[in-house]
């Protein structure tokens, strides 16, 4: 929806691709044309390069925007698009290979003498993992080399956790990205996660548009972001920005991208990775800099020169984004799919809503539960925070549980209000909420398998596993679907959603 809205303002026609479960999706209804590319499983639809490219060619499209996830950082996809005579709206595949892979980007940074977190890569088995952990020293973080979004990440604080963490991270990485490669980094205690937006054209012009604070994360998945970062002054912003731009030049990068860093308590920063795509949190940068990143992506892909230079970038005010997801924060963020019976988004000064759903749409279990992004802006951080509180109170979503109550809880936290952020703050807020209401949860601090869940949470996990097994993998009950593939029968999906939505609820 975000990309198509930019296209409509530019007078460019749009074509949506969709899986069978997304047939009634908002982006399908909004596009000028739409093409089905397969059944619900992403490997048979959104991750199927051939089907996406064939859809673009069949409809006579000129360009492909890869969006935020799935194939957006896949160099093979970018090449397939170009080989089909289409324009890929993103970086060149060579730059994606140099920077889109976390391990390759790390090698590039090390070779350039840039600061990186101590770590190890080329881990081909558990023996390599074990030796690397002994050499680096615990605690460490295992990470998927081929993707992001918190997938394939596990924190290890004790040696007995190492084997299961490596096995789980590899499996999750393969399921999410088709690549089980894992690398290891030393865990920096209570770091900030700060990223730099870069933008460049084909002619060597490359700039940065300041930073975003992305420290508020749950299980390594960002939930709130803001611009500028409360920790950044002009000197830190300049140094991080120059590092990001230097990496981009070394990789021959153009179009939009994001360099991610960890910042420690002493304001030292360490390069993590480059997301070779548009980020979910890009709106906060747009509101503070006034630059429409999607339109710039399209213009750059069309061969135009970058219209702005570094000295033209001015940051004004502050912006904050919340990711509104169909999850129940009172039940350890248990998925809450189902029918949206009411949908009213906040309005008023300084409020922006980027949404992909509507009243009457049924949120499926098949994909990420993100439904919308609420973005607010103000003259400074204090006004943005106050505006966010007002907007969250105006939000009304019926029929399922959402993360809105959790964000209201965040706004009451003294550390958040003071800008004292780190990647563990969300876990501490959740743990404090659980302590205030005993019997709901004991520990959801890291998602590394060490937390102890209450009886209700255990039952919720059992229910989820039973429903997953009942979807067909074990029971084998399937109905014919598109292109000869199958998806869960309608009665089974309805029953699954009903069971999830009837699960007892309690306020956070």
Provide the annotated active-site residues: 277
User: Are 471 and 21 in contact, with CB atoms under 8 Å apart?
Assistant: no
Strands (DSSP E) contained in 219-365 are 221-227, 255-263, 269-275, 318-325, 327-328, 334-335, 338-339, 342-344, 351-355, 362-363
Tokens of 64: 């492909």
Half-sphere exposure of 190 (CA within 13 A, CB side): 7
Q: Residue length, the chain? A: 508
Q: List, in sequence order, every residue forming a beta bridge with 216; answer none if it has no partner.
A: 224
Tokens of 220: 């390594």
Residue 238 to residue 269: CA distance in whole angstroms? 12
| The residue to which tokens 């977190």 are assigned | 117
CA dihedral 292, 293, 294, 296 (to 10 degrees): 90
Q: In this structure, how many other beta carbons lie within 10 angstroms of the beta carbon of residue 210?
A: 20
Residue 273 to residue 293: CA distance in whole angstroms? 20
Q: Can you list the alpha helix ranges (DSSP code H) found in 344-470? A: 381-394, 404-410, 414-418, 425-436, 455-468
Q: What angle do CA 54, 488, 50 make, to 5 degrees?
A: 15
């Amino acid at each position: 929806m975000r990309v198509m809205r930019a296209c409509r303002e530019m007078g460019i026609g749009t074509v949506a691709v969709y899986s069978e479960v997304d047939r009634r999706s908002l982006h399908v209804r909004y596009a000028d044309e739409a093409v089905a590319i397969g059944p619900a499983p992403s490997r048979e639809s959104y991750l199927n390069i051939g089907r996406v490219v064939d859809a673009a060619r069949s409809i006579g499209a000129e360009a492909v925007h890869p969006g935020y996830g799935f194939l957006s950082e896949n160099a093979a996809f970018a090449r397939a698009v170009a080989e089909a005579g289409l324009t890929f709206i993103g970086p060149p595949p060579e730059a994606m290979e140099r920077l889109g892979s976390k391990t390759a980007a790390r090698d590039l940074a090390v070779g350039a003498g840039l600061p990186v977190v101590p770590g190890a890569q080329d881990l081909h088995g558990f023996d390599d993992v074990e030796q690397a952990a002994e050499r680096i020293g615990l605690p460490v973080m295992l990470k998927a080399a081929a993707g992001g979004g918190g997938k394939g990440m596990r924190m290890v604080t004790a040696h007995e956790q190492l084997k299961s963490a490596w096995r789980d991270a590899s499996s999750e990485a393969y399921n999410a990205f088709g690549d089980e490669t894992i690398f290891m980094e030393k865990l920096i205690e209570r770091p900030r996660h700060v990223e730099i937006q870069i933008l460049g054209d084909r002619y060597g012009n490359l700039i940065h548009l300041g930073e975003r604070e992305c420290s508020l994360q749950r299980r390594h998945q960002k939930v709130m972001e803001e611009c500028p970062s409360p920790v950044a002054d002009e000197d830190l912003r300049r140094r991080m920005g120059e590092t990001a731009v230097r990496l981009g030049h070394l990789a021959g990068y153009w179009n939009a991208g994001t360099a991610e860093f960890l910042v420690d308590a002493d304001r030292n920063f360490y390069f993590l990775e480059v997301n070779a795509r548009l980020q979910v949190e890009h709106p906060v940068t747009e509101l503070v800099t006034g630059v429409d990143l999607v339109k710039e992506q399209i213009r750059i892909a069309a061969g135009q020169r970058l219209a702005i230079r570094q000295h033209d970038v001015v940051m004004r005010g502050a912006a904050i984004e919340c990711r509104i997801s169909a999850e129940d924060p009172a039940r350890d963020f248990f998925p809450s799919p189902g029918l949206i019976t009411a949908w009213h988004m906040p309005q008023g000064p300084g409020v922006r809503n980027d949404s992909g759903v509507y009243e009457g749409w049924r949120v499926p279990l098949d994909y990420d539960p993100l439904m919308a992004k609420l973005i607010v802006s103000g003259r400074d951080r204090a006004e943005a925070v106050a505006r966010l509180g007002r907007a969250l109170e105006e939000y009304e979503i019926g029929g399922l549980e959402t993360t809105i109550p959790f964000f209201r809880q965040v706004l009451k936290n003294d550390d958040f209000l003071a800008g004292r952020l780190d990647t563990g703050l969300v876990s501490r807020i959740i743990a404090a909420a659980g302590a205030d209401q005993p019997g709901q949860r004991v520990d959801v601090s890291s998602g590394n398998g060490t937390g102890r869940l209450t009886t209700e949470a255990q039952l919720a996990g059992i229910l989820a596993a039973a429903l997953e097994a009942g979807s067909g993998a074990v029971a084998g009950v399937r109905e014919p679907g598109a292109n000869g593939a199958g998806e869960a029968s309608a009665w089974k999906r309805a029953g699954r959603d009903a069971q999830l939505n009837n699960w007892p609820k309690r306020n956070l």
